[in-house]
Structure 1
Amino acid sequence: MKQMKLTEKKRKDILDAAILEFREQGFPAARVNRIAELAEVSKRTLYKHFESKEVLFAAITDILLQEIAAMPKLRPEADAPLREQLIAAVRDYVGHLTGEQYLGLNRLVMSELLRDQDLAQAFFAKAAMQDGPISGMIADRMQAGALRRAEPGFAAGQLLSMIKHFLVWPQFLMGTKADVDPDAVIADCVDMFLAHYAK
């Protein structure tokens, strides 16, 4: 495994410290001095890597975008039943979104995006450029004629909004899983989606 350079390690330490400070204090109250202290670097070193608290926060939003991009890519199998493929893909998607690393970053970023609409617009413009794996699968099956034609991102949003209501938002907002059977929820939502889109 390639060893991390000292400058890369310092940058990572600063980002980790900033995530901790922003989580504990919120962005407006977070202090650069405290971030430098947590990262065990000088304030000068911190500013060498990140010229302001805003730039540091933007780097954290980029980490979240990288997490979104890291969602497993799907290879649609023409011979496999679409229902089973969608169920497996959605299960992986929910697992990714509810992982502790992703949830923590998402809570941190979203709390600031609610406060700053300019930052929110910039973030969601970048996020929109990510080619979601489920959207890609739906587009492929629409192209193949297995699903009726529509805008794939919109169709994927319909499916995933239902899923998130039951399996993501309770954990994101309240830190607890909803009292439902996740497999049954996923199967029901996929069936509703297919009832609308399958040919």
Structure 2
Amino acid sequence: MEKLSRSEQKRLDIHKAALAEFKEKSFAGASMDAIAERAAVSKRTVYNHFESKEALFQAVTESFWQLSKDVTNVEYDPAQDIVVQLENIAEAMWQLYAQADFIEKARVLLAEYIRQPQLIEQMIQQVSEKEKGLSRFLAQAHQAGVLQIDDLRMAETQFWGLCKAFAFWPVVFQMNDYSNQRAQIIRNNVQMFVCQYRCRKTT
């Protein structure tokens, strides 16, 4: 792994400190002074990287959605079975949801969305902008005649929902652990999805 520059490391430290501050005190209760103290940098250094607390919260949010985008940033391969490709995407998503730092960010952001409902609209816009990978993949499979998708956005949402029902929400809320059934769940979810969009009958 390439070593971070001093400036990059400070920015990362500020980012981590902000996440901890937002978690403990919420966005409204957090302060740039406290974030600077947590990051062991000066307040001026914080402002050199982020012009405001809002910009810093935005950076935390964007880093969260970027991780989701990266997981699905793949091209459809006509030489490979669509089931195998979708299972690989679902597996990569499950691995992402198993990462403690990703879930930590999810909990912080969800808490803020509850405290500040107006942030939901911004979040939805970010999702539509950031999660282009899966949408593009499904569009390519549709164009290749492998999947028959009339509503691309709905199909994308359904696939994410199938994955998150077992791999994301139970972890976020510390409920059931489905990790031992991971392979079977992924296989079943993909079969359901493909059956809907490849095997359905036209009426």
TM-score interval for Structure 1 and Structure 2 normalised by the shorter chain: 0.7 to 0.9
The 8 Å contact of residues 71 and 89 in structure 2, kept in 1 or not, is answered as no
Distance of aligned partners of 1:176 and 1:132 in 2 relative to their CA distance in 1, 3 Å threshold? farther
How far residue 102 of structure 1 moved from its aligned partner, in angstroms, is 1.5
Residue 20 in 1 paired to residue 7 in 2? no
Distance in 1 between residues matched to 2:155 and 2:71, nearest whole Å: 19
CA distance in 2 between counterparts of 1:153 and 1:137 reads 12
Shift of 1:141: 1.5
Query: Is 2:185 the partner of 1:182?
Result: no
The answer on whether the counterparts of 2:69 and 2:133 sit within 8 Å (CA) in structure 1 is no
Structure-2-length-normalised TM-score: 0.84
- Once the two structures are TM-superposed, the CA of residue 131 in structure 1 deviates from its matched residue by 4.1
Distance in 2 between residues matched to 1:109 and 1:198, nearest whole Å = 36
Q: Which residue of structure 2 lines up, in the alignment, with residue 147 of structure 1?
A: 147
1:96-132 CA-partner distances (Å, limit 9, x unpaired): 2332221111211221122212222123212211244
- 1:3 Cα shift? 5.7
Distance, in Å, in 2 between the alignment partners of 1:166 and 1:116 is 27
Tell me the equivalent position of 1:107. 107
Shift of 1:171: 0.5
Counterparts of 2:21 and 2:34 in 1: how far apart (Å)? 7
State whether residues 90 and 134 of structure 1, in contact with CA within 8 Å, keep that contact through their aligned partners in structure 2: no
Distance 2:79 2:9 in 1: 46
Seen in structure 2, the aligned counterparts of structure 1 residues 83 and 5 have a Cα distance that, compared at 3 Å, is: closer
Letter in 2 for 1:66: Q
> Bigger shift: 72-81 or 145-154?
72-81
Aligned equivalents of 2:79, 2:3: Cα separation in 1: 43
* Correspondence 1:78 to 2:78: yes
Identity of aligned residues (%): 29
Q: Helix, strand or coil for the counterpart of 1:148?
A: coil
Cα distance in 1 for partners of 2:44, 2:195 equals: 59
Distance 1:50 1:134 in 2: 31
**Partners of 2:14 and 2:92 in 1: how far apart?**
31
Asked if the contact 1:36–1:46 (Cα under 8 Å) also holds between the matched residues in 2, the reply is: yes
Checking the alignment, whether the CA contact within 8 Å between 1:65 and 1:127 is kept in structure 2 is: yes
Structure 1 unaligned runs (5+)? none
Match of 1:156 in 2: 156
Root-mean-square deviation (CA), in Å? 2.4
TM-score w.r.t. the length of structure 1 is: 0.85
Q: Which residue of structure 2 aligns with residue 33 of structure 1?
A: 33
Residue 24 to residue 175, structure 1, CA distance change in 2 (3 Å): farther
Q: Note the C-alpha offset of 1:176.
A: 5.8
Preserved CA contact (<8 Å) 2:97 2:167: no
Residue identity matched to 2:167: L
1:17/1:39 contact within 8 Å kept: yes
Assess if the C-alpha contact under 8 Å between 1:61 and 1:109 holds in 2.
yes
Could you tell me how far 1:186 is from its partner in structure 2? 1.3
